[in-house]
Each structure stands twice: as structure tokens, then as C-alpha cells.
């Protein structure tokens, strides 16, 4: 081979007496080298040729030098998303072709006389791939090489990712089965691992085996009548067919005066006769159906074993379990079921499978076992999928695992669907699906996969993963996570592609909610993030697309097996931050209305005790001594009832509010709902309605008499602190102080400022703060650092 593209070198050469094969490309993958991936690793190489073909294999070292290779390993030379050239020179007039399973690779190769040549790309295919050199349909040589990922480490990241996908799907599937069939043995742990998957499969089969033995010990049977020709003195129950039998065989009759058969006045005696015999038979529909079940299970087991051998080997634990189960099934087929016929119509069952002991259980365990084996079939045939798709699936399952670690329980396994033949994993089929969760406080989560948004002002949008959070019946908060198996390296710094970040802006701009009052569009999506394969989290914290998350809630997270702490921390903050905090981190298309903070049209009033609260809620009113409210603020439209910790205990906080219809003065003794003899003057508020809200949780101190807040803050607050926030700068400072509080510091909200361990903290504008009377011109992040130092 004479001409190679610029920068290409021969990576692999196979010389034989029938052809010479050359595969060339770049010695190194630039991106993989920059990211320091796949170092000191070996790639698999398998060459199998017909016995009469002499073969010499040459492979390249890391410097591009070729040497004869006698083994089964070579330097990693083949990567996904890199172009290679294949050149085959036929020797003699031979009808040789090259076959590859991938259509695109196969179609890229063209024949010109005695030469086959073409450029190809593995296009996200990772793992072993095989080229077959064929002549007249006979395989002359089979070449299997190992393709490495260019954006993650093959041994550490890719293999770990595959294992985690298998384990997570196993956990979800068997938790699903446990919920469906209410079997305690399937619900021993919340998260099943791959090893536990095998253990559970064995447990199911053991129950199946017990039911099978019960059938064999006490089988269902039928009584059948069988006719047979015997000597006449042996007949106990003669058959009605004897007359026709003698007519057809007259030679079996001889004349005898003592004969009991008379024909035309002559007596005859038979030499042979037909006897009717009753017999017990096991060859009935029910037992044939059990045999059919055994044969179906064996067929599925053989299929999965073949998949495992291709991807792994016989040392695989799952393979060994299947081998053991298959041998047991064979034992039953060759003994008890040996003389039982095959089932002609497997689609009908009888009441035996719902009623008869053993048969009823065998059918139930067959359905469970069949689903488990279908699961195994999916797990062990995942490998051929594109690596970008595997990365997308893995990221989704990783978010699912993080959510469960943070205290949420699954209520609906929407990514798993039962079928007649087992279980279907919708995320492997590119179907829109979701997992639903709930926590102890009743907050609901939905984790969507391939969620489609069609009725939008712009075009349809379909992000990979959407996390929907519903707290206490508020409008959904939505966060988009898009997995991209792409990485941009500039000046040695890794990050996502800029076009992918721009796509996140388009996603969030497009996925909107229509406001009922003024029909303006506003964001319903509070964050949009790229997930990309990169291992150095610490280094990435200095990247602009990580810092942008705190500013506009759009950015990126590096995520690989063992590298997802930044992602986990962010999801935790999403789940536990209030809606006010989340909204204030989003840039809106609509004008930011300061009335959300300044138009204080809600009176938050202290409720004396449970008796008073019950009267207020039941009778739609509230009253308070005039001396405490000599001047009611103009524009009050709502009243919220504050329940103190001292009087209400666990029910403390704000749970009810009402809309004011009118107010009036009266003497306390005039109140019919709460009777008391007193002439003290009260202000009475008549309410149109009283509704549930929140709960808005109390903090270290409560509300002595009353405070004012806005309807916006009342609708969105999660703590009483948040009712006093005055602007978006205070919201941002409050978010910083909440993190400081988690570290053990004492944080209080006073009337016009905050206190941190007794230190007075005020925010004057976006970059100006006053701490104990001293002015600081700095950022919110820096103010957190300053407060921590002052408090120590």
C-alpha cells in the first residue's frame, strides 16, 4: 500500500497467501491524549483464519513502528468518532469481499479490480467489532479488534458505566416485580446490585422448582379407556366393538358346541377378542402446558447464555447460574416429562392453573421468572448500543439514584413496562417515560425521559431528562438535564461545547407556561444543564459554564462513574431550596415586577390557640384588639393565620389564609363565635373564604402579633423568614445564609436585617453590604466567606 492520507500510518497489517489487509489511521487520539485517558492499557486483538491460510499479523507501537504480533493484545489504536482507511489487496483472481455487521461501514468499502478500499468511522461504537474476509460465502479470516472511547477512560469509566447501568436496571426491575407480585423475597433491599439480581433469580427458580416437584409427586391425570386384543379367557370387560371385530376377522372364530357366539344356528368360540381396559394417563393438557413452560424457559436461557459468551465469557456469574438452572430443567424434561406430548395450542389455559396445588404456583413463578430472564436478556445485550446512548441512559439512572439517596421513594416505575413476554425498559427503546417519587413531607417528583413539549409558541422540544418538582401544590418547577457525549478542549481545559450550552438557553426559552391572568409567557423551567464526560470536578469549578449556573441557572456538570459530586450537590439544593430562591436565579422575559416584594397586601396575624383557629376557619372571620392595630395598613386584601410553636407544637406555622370581604369595629362581647364578656373594642375582618396553604414553617422565633407581607411571598415562601424578604438581593443573601446555618451558625431574620451569630448583616444593593456597621463592596459568594471568618 503506497498512498496514505496526511498524518496517517499503518496501524494493523495482515499478510497472507490469499490477500493482504491494511488498516491505517492516526496513531493517537488527540482528545484522549489531552484528557490523559486510556493510559497504559492494552486492546484486544483476535485473528482466526482457515487452517490452510498462512497469516502474519503486524501492529503499531505508540511511535508508529510496525512489528510482528504473535499474541492477542495490541496498543489501543482504534477509537470511536475517528476516521480510518481500510485497504485489501487480493492475490490471484479471487472473489473476496469484506463483511461487517454495521451497514455504514460495510457500504463505505468499494471494490476496484483486485482492491477493496474505503474510509470508515466507528461512530460511537465501543467494544469489540469484527471484520470477516469471505470468499464465495466462506469465511477465510475473521478479525476482531477493540474500539476505545475517546472521551472517557475505557477500563475505569466505560466498564463501570456498563456495570452501573446493569445494576440500576436490575434494582428497578426487581423492585418493580416485588411491588407487582407482593413477594417479600423480592423486596429485601431497596437497591439491588447485580449480584443480588442473580441471587433473586435463583430464589425465584427455587420456588419454581419446588412447585415443579409438587406436580411430579401428585400430578394431575385422566382416566382413559383403552382397547386391546387378548385371549378370550383373559377378557374381563368386553368391548362393544367385538361384533364388528369378528365380522372383519371371521377366521378368528371356530365351531364349538359350547361356543357362546351363535351365527345362523351354529355356535362359535373366538380365538381372540377385544378387552376394554381403564388406564391412568399423565399425557393431558395441564402437564403438556408445564412441559411447554420448561421448554420456553430453556430456550430463553440458551439465548442469554450465547449473549454472555459473546460479551463476556463462561466465567461470568450470571452464566454459571443459568447453566445450573438449565441442567435442572433438562433433568425434568428427560424424566417425568419424557413421555408427555407437546402442546399444540399454548394460548389457552384451564382452571387448573388457578386452582390445583402446584399448577397454580408453577404458572405464577413462570411469569415472574420469565420477566427476570427477559431482564437478563436486556442487560446482556445492551453493549451494542451507541456509546452516546449508553451515556444518556447512565446519566438518567444516576440522577434517579441520587434522588433516592436524598430520601425520595419511588411510587411509579414508569420506565419499566410489563409485557406478555416479560419486561420492557422504555429508556432502552427511546420511549417517553418517567419515574415518580414522593418524600415524607408529601412532595412529589417526576423524572422524565425524552419528554416532548409540542404545544409551545416555538418548535417542539425534547430534552433527555426533565426533573419536575411539585411542592405543596405549587406550579411545577422544572429542570432540564441533557447528556452530551461531547467534549470541547481549549488550551488544555475541558468543557461542554458552546453550541450545547446555547441549546440549553433555547430549551428554557421555549418551554414556558401560559399565565392565566394576562396570557404572557413566563419561564416554567428554572434551570437547564449539560452533562458531559469529564473526570476532574475540582478543575471544572473554575470553568465559566460551571460559574454560570449560579448566575443564570444554565451551565454544565462533569459526570462519570465516581465523578458526580457537583451534580449531587446541585440536585440536593434543587430539592431543598424554596421556590422563591429558585425563581430569583432565573432571568425572565417579562419585566421583573417589584410589587412582588413591595406591595404588602397580606396581614400575617398571630392565632391565640386551637379554639380560636377552629372558629376563624369554620366561620370565615378574624378579630384582633383595636389597641394592637390602631391603624390598619391600607390595601390589605388577605389575612394569614400564624400558629405559634408554643400553642400548636408540630402544627405550628402558617396553614390557612383568607381573603378579606370587609372589616368593622365591635365590642368583644358581640362576637357570637367566641363568647366572652368584655366591652373591649376589636377590629373584625369578615372573610370571603379560608383556604389551606403551605405549610409555611416557623423558625427560631415567631410572630408576636402580626406582620405584613406580599401575596407573592405568601404563595411561595417555605419558612416565616421568607415572608420578610424585601428584594431579590435579600433572596440571594438569604440563600447564602441558609448554607451558613447548615454549618452550625445561628441565623436570625430581624425586621430589616439578618443576624449571624449576633452579627448584624444588611444588603444595601447587589454588591454593597453592611456588616456590624462596616461597608463591604464585594460579591455574594465573598460575603459568605467574610461572615464565616467573622463568626469564628
| Angle ∠(771,777,779) on CA atoms, nearest 5 | 95
| % of residues, the chain, pLDDT over 90 | 16
Tell me, what's the pLDDT at 96? 92
CATH number for domain 592-721, candidates 2.30.130.30, 3.40.50.2000, 2.60.40.1220, 3.20.20.70: 2.30.130.30
Q: Which of 258-267, 383-392, 424-433, 547-556 has the lowest mean pLDDT?
A: 424-433
pLDDT, tens only, 560-586: 888 888 999 999 888 876 656 565 555
pLDDT, tens only, 741-774: 877 788 887 767 888 888 888 887 777 888 887 8
pLDDT band at 639 (very low <50, low <70, confident <90, very high): very high
Tell me, what's the pLDDT at 172? 61
Q: Which of 479, 501, 507, 506 is nearest to 488 (CA)?
A: 501
pLDDT at 378 over 60: no
Q: Do 16 and 53 form a contact (C-beta atoms < 8 A)?
A: yes
pLDDT at 658 over 90: yes
Question: Is 538 exposed, middle or buried, given 0-12, 13-18 or 19+ CB atoms closer than 10 A?
Answer: exposed
Tell me, what's the pLDDT at 503? 80
User: Which of 206-220, 668-682, 740-754 is the most confident on average?
Assistant: 668-682
pLDDT at 621 over 90: yes
Q: What is the DSSP code (8-state) at residue 493? A: E
Across residues 159-186, what is the average pLDDT? Answer: 56
Max Cα-Cα span within the chain: 141
pLDDT at 199 over 60: no
| % of residues, the chain, pLDDT over 70 | 77
Q: How far is Cα 97 from Cα 115, in angstroms, rounded to an integer?
A: 10
DSSP code string of 396-419: HHHHHHHHHHTT-EEEEETTEEEE
Mean pLDDT of the chain: 78
Q: How far is Cα 178 from Cα 187, in angstroms, rounded to an integer?
A: 6
Tell me, what's the pLDDT at 657? 95
Cell triple for residue 376?
Answer: 437478563
Tell me, what's the pLDDT at 18? 92
Tell me, what's the pLDDT at 265? 74
Q: What is the pTM of this model?
A: 0.52
Q: How far is Cα 210 from Cα 443, in angstroms, rounded to an integer?
A: 43
Tell me, what's the pLDDT at 416? 65
pLDDT at 714 over 80: yes
Residue with cell 384582633: 624
pLDDT, tens only, 215-258: 888 888 787 777 788 888 788 788 777 878 888 888 888 877 77
Tell me, what's the pLDDT at 31? 66
Q: Tell me how far CA of residue 432 lies from CA of 382, 448, 462, 776, in angstroms.
A: 19, 7, 9, 51
Between residues 30 and 547, the one the model is more confident about:
547
Tell me, what's the pLDDT at 361? 77
Antiparallel, parallel or unpaired: β 253-255 and 266-270:
antiparallel
Tell me, what's the pLDDT at 424? 57
Tell me, what's the pLDDT at 289? 85
pLDDT at 192 over 50: no
Which helix H or strand E contains 617, and what residues bound it? helix 610-619
Tell me, what's the pLDDT at 655? 94
Between residues 390 and 692, the one the model is more confident about:
692
Q: How many beta carbons lie within 10 A of that of residue 136, not counting itself?
A: 9
Q: Tell me how far CA of residue 222 lies from CA of 139, 285, 286, 661, in angstroms.
A: 55, 10, 11, 82
Q: Would you list the domain boundaries of the chain? A: 9-150, 193-218+285-379, 224-281, 387-583, 592-721, 726-792
Cell triple for residue 594?
Answer: 417589584
Tell me, what's the pLDDT at 445? 87
pLDDT at 704 over 90: no
Amino acid at each position: 500500500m503506497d498512498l496514505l492520507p496526511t498524518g496517517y500510518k499503518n496501524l494493523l497489517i495482515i499478510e497472507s497467501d490469499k490477500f493482504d489487509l491494511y488498516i491505517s489511521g492516526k496513531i493517537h487520539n488527540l482528545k484522549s491524549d489531552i484528557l490523559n485517558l486510556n493510559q497504559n492499557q492494552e486492546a484486544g486483538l483476535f485473528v482466526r483464519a482457515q487452517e490452510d491460510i498462512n497469516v502474519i499479523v503486524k501492529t503499531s507501537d505508540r511511535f508508529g513502528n510496525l512489528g510482528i504480533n504473535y499474541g492477542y493484545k495490541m496498543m489501543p489504536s482504534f477509537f470511536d468518532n475517528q476516521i480510518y482507511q481500510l485497504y485489501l489487496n487480493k492475490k490471484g483472481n479471487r472473489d473476496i469481499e469484506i463483511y461487517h455487521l454495521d451497514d455504514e461501514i460495510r457500504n463505505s468499502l468499494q471494490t476496484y479490480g483486485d482492491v477493496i478500499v474505503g474510509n470508515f468511522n466507528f461512530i460511537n461504537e465501543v467494544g469489540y467489532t469484527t471484520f470477516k474476509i469471505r470468499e464465495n460465502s466462506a469465511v477465510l479470516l475473521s478479525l476482531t479488534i477493540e474500539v476505545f472511547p475517546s472521551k472517557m477512560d475505557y477500563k475505569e469509566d466505560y466498564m463501570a458505566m456498563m456495570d452501573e447501568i446493569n445494576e440500576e436496571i436490575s434494582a428497578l426491575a426487581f423492585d418493580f416485580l416485588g411491588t407487582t407480585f407482593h413477594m417479600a423475597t423480592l423486596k429485601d433491599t431497596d437497591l439491588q446490585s447485580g449480584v443480588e439480581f442473580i441471587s433473586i433469580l435463583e430464589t425465584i427458580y427455587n420456588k419454581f422448582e419446588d412447585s415443579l416437584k409438587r406436580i411430579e409427586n401428585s400430578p394431575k391425570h385422566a382416566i382413559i379407556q383403552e382397547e386391546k386384543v387378548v385371549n378370550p379367557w383373559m377378557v374381563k370387560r368386553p368391548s362393544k366393538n367385538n361384533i364388528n371385530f369378528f365380522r372383519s376377522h371371521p377366521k378368528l372364530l371356530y365351531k364349538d358346541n359350547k361356543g357362546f357366539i351363535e351365527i345362523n344356528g351354529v355356535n362359535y368360540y373366538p380365538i381372540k377378542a377385544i378387552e376394554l381396559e381403564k388406564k391412568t394417563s399423565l399425557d393431558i393438557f395441564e402437564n403438556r402446558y408445564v412441559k411447554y413452560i420448561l421448554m420456553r424457559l430453556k430456550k430463553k436461557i440458551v439465548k442469554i447464555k450465547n449473549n454472555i459468551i459473546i460479551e463476556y465469557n463462561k466465567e461470568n456469574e450470571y452464566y454459571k447460574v443459568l447453566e445450573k438452572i438449565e441442567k435442572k430443567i433438562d433433568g425434568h424434561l428427560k424424566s417425568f416429562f419424557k413421555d408427555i406430548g407437546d402442546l399444540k395450542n399454548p394460548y389457552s389455559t384451564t382452571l387448573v392453573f388457578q386452582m390445583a396445588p402446584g399448577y397454580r404456583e408453577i404458572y405464577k413463578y413462570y411469569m415472574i421468572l420469565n420477566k427476570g430472564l427477559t431482564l437478563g436478556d436486556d442487560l446482556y445485550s445492551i453493549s451494542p448500543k451507541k456509546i452516546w446512548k449508553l451515556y444518556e441512559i447512565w446519566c438518567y439512572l444516576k440522577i434517579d439514584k441520587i434522588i433516592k439517596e436524598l430520601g425520595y421513594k419511588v411510587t411509579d416505575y414508569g420506565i419499566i413496562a410489563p409485557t406478555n413476554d416479560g419486561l420492557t425498559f422504555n429508556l432502552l427503546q427511546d420511549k417517553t417515560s418517567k419515574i415518580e417519587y414522593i418524600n415524607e413531607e408529601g412532595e412529589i417528583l417526576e423524572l422524565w425521559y425524552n419528554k416532548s413539549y409540542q404545544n409551545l409558541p416555538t418548535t417542539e422540544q425534547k430534552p433527555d431528562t426533565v426533573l419536575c418538582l411539585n411542592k405543596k401544590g405549587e406550579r411545577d418547577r422544572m429542570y432540564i438535564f441533557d447528556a452530551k457525549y461531547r467534549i470541547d478542549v481549549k488550551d488544555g481545559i475541558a468543557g461542554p461545547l458552546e453550541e450545547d450550552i446555547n441549546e440549553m438557553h433555547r430549551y428554557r426559552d421555549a418551554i414556558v407556561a401560559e399565565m392565566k391572568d394576562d396570557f404572557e409567557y413566563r419561564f416554567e423551567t428554572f434551570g437547564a444543564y449539560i452533562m458531559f464526560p469529564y473526570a476532574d470536578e475540582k478543575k471544572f469549578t473554575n470553568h465559566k459554564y460551571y460559574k454560570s449556573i449560579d448566575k443564570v441557572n444554565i451551565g454544565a456538570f462533569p459526570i462519570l462513574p465516581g465523578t458526580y459530586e457537583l451534580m449531587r450537590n446541585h440536585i440536593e439544593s434543587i430539592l431543598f431550596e424554596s421556590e422563591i430562591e429558585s425563581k430569583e436565579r432565573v432571568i425572565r422575559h417579562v419585566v421583573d415586577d417589584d410589587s412582588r416584594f413591595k406591595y404588602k397586601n397580606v396581614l400575617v396575624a398571630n392565632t391565640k390557640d386551637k379554639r380560636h383557629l377552629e372558629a376563624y376557619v369554620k366561620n370565615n372571620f378574624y378579630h384582633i384588639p383595636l389597641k394592637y392595630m390602631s391603624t390598619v395598613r391600607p390595601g390589605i386584601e388577605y389575612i394569614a393565620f400564624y400558629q405559634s410553636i408554643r400553642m400548636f407544637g408540630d402544627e405550628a406555622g402558617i396553614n390557612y389564609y383568607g381573603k378579606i370581604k370587609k372589616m368593622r369595629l365591635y365590642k368583644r362581647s358581640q362576637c357570637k363565635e367566641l363568647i366572652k364578656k368584655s366591652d373591649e373594642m376589636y377590629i373584625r375582618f369578615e372573610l370571603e373564604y379560608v383556604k389551606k396553604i403551605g405549610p409555611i414553617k416557623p423558625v427560631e422565633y415567631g410572630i408576636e402579633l402580626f406582620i405584613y407581607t406580599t401575596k407573592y411571598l405568601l404563595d411561595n415562601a417555605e419558612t416565616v423568614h421568607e415572608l420578610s424578604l424585601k428584594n431579590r438581593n435579600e433572596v440571594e443573601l438569604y440563600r447564602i445564609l441558609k448554607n451558613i446555618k447548615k454549618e452550625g451558625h445561628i441565623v436570625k431574620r430581624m425586621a430589616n436585617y439578618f443576624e449571624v451569630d449576633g452579627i448584624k448583616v444588611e444588603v444595601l444593593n447587589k454588591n454593597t453590604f453592611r456588616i456590624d456597621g462596616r461597608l463591604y463592596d464585594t460579591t455574594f459568594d465573598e460575603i459568605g466567606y467574610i461572615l464565616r471568618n467573622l463568626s469564628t
